[in-house]
Each structure stands twice: as structure tokens, then as C-alpha cells.
């Protein structure tokens, strides 16, 4: 299977790098923790089938996180050796001096993150967010695109109440009526059936000058991998 072979090669490369920067523990124990998020990538199929474990002989502790900010914090603590994160949290981690290595860009996020508003809020575009309450995970690519979108249409982000919420918290806040809108990845929006919402047009921010946002794999350099208790 072509995808299995590609991810097997990538994973083995990651293990080789980890063995060099973190000592012989990874190679000897053949066990790592991989942080991932709720996004659709070819890796999900291989995860569900256990294909990478079968191909490489490694035990992989898959840990799901609600956003890239949580992912890089877990990596900084040493709890995670490999992670899947967006370009915004990766840039934040690098700017804070984290010793990380980006070794594979999975995809271009493009227009997969969008504004969705509650019915009755009179929000039909980003320009209508002034004075409204909108939730997004801080340090995420969605947060980055929201700030760009507001600035692009002449709305000062300070004139919008932007709340830092993980996806499950956004769903709960939506049902309680605590927020007017959310700027989040479309995959998350497909899940909650009770999220009655107005139709905001999909925006292609690349066409309007925003820098591309991507999903990538990272390795934590210099961290001693820890075995789960």
C-alpha cells in the first residue's frame, strides 16, 4: 500500500532522528508518544488499522489534543516526542526557543478554517464581528486566520470579544448561547448536529494576502522520551 510505505518511511526517519537527539531509549524501547488533532489526514486510516505499528515494530501511544497550542506545550514538557500541529503553534514554539525540528509538511490548510455564526446574530461575514463574541483556540492557525481576516476588512481585533476555547468548549458554549460565532476548522463544525447556524461565505484568505497555513509533523530535539506509567 503506497500510503503505508510513505508513512512507514517517514516514521522510521523520525525514529532515527529521535534516537540521535534523545539517546538510545527510543531505539531500545521502540515506544513513542505521538500527539494528533481532530483533522482529516491519510494518517488517520493508518492509525485505525495499526499499520504503522505493524510496519515499524514500534508501540505508538496516540494522544489526541484539542489544538496546536496544547500539542506544543505537551512537547515542551517532554510528554510527547512527535506531534502534528499547524504552522501558527509551530512558529510560536520556535519563537519561544523550543528545540524542535519540522520534518514533514502534511498539507496546506487553505480554506478549511472558516467563520460560522449563530442564527439571529446578523453575522454574515467577518466584517459583522465588531462588538460580537467569537471563540477560537488561541495560538492555532484558525486564530491566525481570524486576526488576518478582521484586519483585512478593517475591523480592529480589539473591537471583537475573542475568547480562547478548545473545540469541545466551543461546542458547549454554542449550546449555552454564550458565543455569537466561532472561527474553527470545518471538520469540527461537521460534528455537532445541534449547531444551528447562518451561512457565511467560505473565504480564501490566500487570495487576499495571508501567508499559507499548513499542518506538519514535528520532532522534539533534545528531549528524553518518557514511558507512560
Average pLDDT over residues 56-83: 86
Count of helices and strands (H, E) across the chain: 9, 10
How many residues in total does the chain contain?
Answer: 229
Q: Are residues 26 and 98 in the same domain?
A: yes
Residue 39, in any domain of the structure: yes
pLDDT confidence band for 102 (50 / 70 / 90)? confident
Q: Are residues 136 and 165 in the same domain?
A: yes
**9-to-12, 16, 214 alpha-carbon distances in Å:** 5, 11, 21
Q: Describe the strand order of the beta sheet including 100-108 as a list of residue ranges.
A: 59-64, 31-36, 82-86, 214-220, 100-108
Q: Are residues 51 and 89 in the same domain?
A: yes
Indicate the helix (H) or strand (E) that contains 29.
helix 25-29
Query: In the block, which residue shows the cell 527510543?
Result: 26
Q: Are residues 123 and 185 in the same domain?
A: yes
The three-state (H, E, C) secondary structure of 151-189, written as one string? HHCCCCHHHCEEEECCHHHHHHHHHHCCCCEEEEEHHHH
What pLDDT digit, counting tens, does each position of 127-139 carry?
999 999 999 999 8
Q: Are residues 7 and 94 in the same domain?
A: yes
Spatial separation of the C-alpha atoms in residues 83 and 163, rounded to whole Å:
25
Q: Are residues 163 and 100 in the same domain?
A: no
Give the relative orientation of helices 87-95 and 141-152 as an angle to the nearest 10 degrees: 100
Q: Are residues 68 and 122 in the same domain?
A: no
Q: Are residues 117 and 102 in the same domain?
A: no
pLDDT at residue 227, as a whole number? 39
Q: Are residues 92 and 152 in the same domain?
A: no
Return the percentage of the chain with pLDDT > 70, whole number.
72
Spatial separation of the C-alpha atoms in residues 154 and 174, rounded to whole Å:
26
Q: Are residues 20 and 91 in the same domain?
A: yes
pLDDT at 219 over 70: yes
Residue 184, in any domain of the structure: yes
Residue 48, in any domain of the structure: yes
Residue 160 structural domain: 113-208
Query: In the block, which residue shows the cell 500510503?
Result: 3
- Number of structural domains the chain divides into: 2
The count of C-alpha atoms lying within 13 angstroms of the C-alpha of 87, restricted to the half-sphere facing its C-beta, is 13
Q: Are residues 118 and 99 in the same domain?
A: no
pLDDT confidence band for 83 (50 / 70 / 90)? confident
Residue 227, in any domain of the structure: no
Q: Are residues 127 and 178 in the same domain?
A: yes
Residue 226, in any domain of the structure: no
Residue 16, in any domain of the structure: yes
Query: Residue 196 maps to which CATH number?
Result: 3.40.190.10
pLDDT at residue 187, as a whole number? 65
Residue 177 Rama label (left phi>0; alpha psi -120 to 50; beta): left
Long-range pairs for 137-140 at CB < 8 Å and ≥24 separation? 137/66, 137/67, 137/68, 137/69, 137/164, 137/165, 137/166, 137/167, 137/184, 138/69, 138/164, 139/67, 139/68, 139/69, 139/72, 139/88, 139/89, 139/92, 140/67, 140/68, 140/69, 140/86, 140/88, 140/89
Residue 228, in any domain of the structure: no
Residue 169, in any domain of the structure: yes
Amino acid at each position: 500500500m503506497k500510503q503505508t510505505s510513505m508513512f512507514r518511511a517517514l516514521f522510521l526517519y523520525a525514529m532515527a532522528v529521535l534516537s540521535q537527539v534523545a539517546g538510545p531509549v527510543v531505539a531500545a524501547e521502540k515506544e513513542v508518544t505521538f500527539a494528533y488533532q481532530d483533522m482529516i489526514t491519510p494518517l488517520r486510516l493508518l492509525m485505525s488499522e495499526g499499520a504503522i505499528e505493524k510496519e515499524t515494530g514500534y508501540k505508538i501511544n496516540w494522544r489526541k489534543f484539542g489544538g496546536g497550542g496544547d500539542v506544543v506545550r505537551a512537547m515542551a514538557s517532554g510528554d510527547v516526542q512527535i506531534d502534528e500541529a499547524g504552522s501558527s503553534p509551530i512558529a510560536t514554539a520556535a519563537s519561544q526557543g523550543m528545540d524542535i525540528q519540522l520534518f514533514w509538511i502534511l498539507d496546506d490548510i487553505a480554506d478549511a478554517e472558516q467563520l460560522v455564526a449563530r442564527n439571529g446574530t446578523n453575522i454574515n461575514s467577518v466584517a459583522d464581528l465588531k462588538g460580537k463574541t467569537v471563540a477560537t483556540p488561541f495560538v492555532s492557525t484558525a486564530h491566525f486566520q481570524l486576526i488576518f481576516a478582521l484586519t483585512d476588512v478593517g475591523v480592529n481585533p480589539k473591537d471583537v470579544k475573542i475568547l480562547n476555547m478548545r473545540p469541545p468548549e466551543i461546542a458547549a458554549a454554542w449550546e449555552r448561547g454564550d458565543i455569537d460565532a466561532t472561527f474553527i476548522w470545518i471538520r469540527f463544525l461537521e460534528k455537532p448536529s445541534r449547531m444551528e447556524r447562518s451561512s457565511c461565505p467560505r473565504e480564501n484568505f490566500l487570495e487576499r494576502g495571508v501567508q499559507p497555513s499548513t499542518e506538519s509533523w514535528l520532532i522534539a530535539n533534545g528531549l528524553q522520551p518518557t514511558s507512560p506509567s
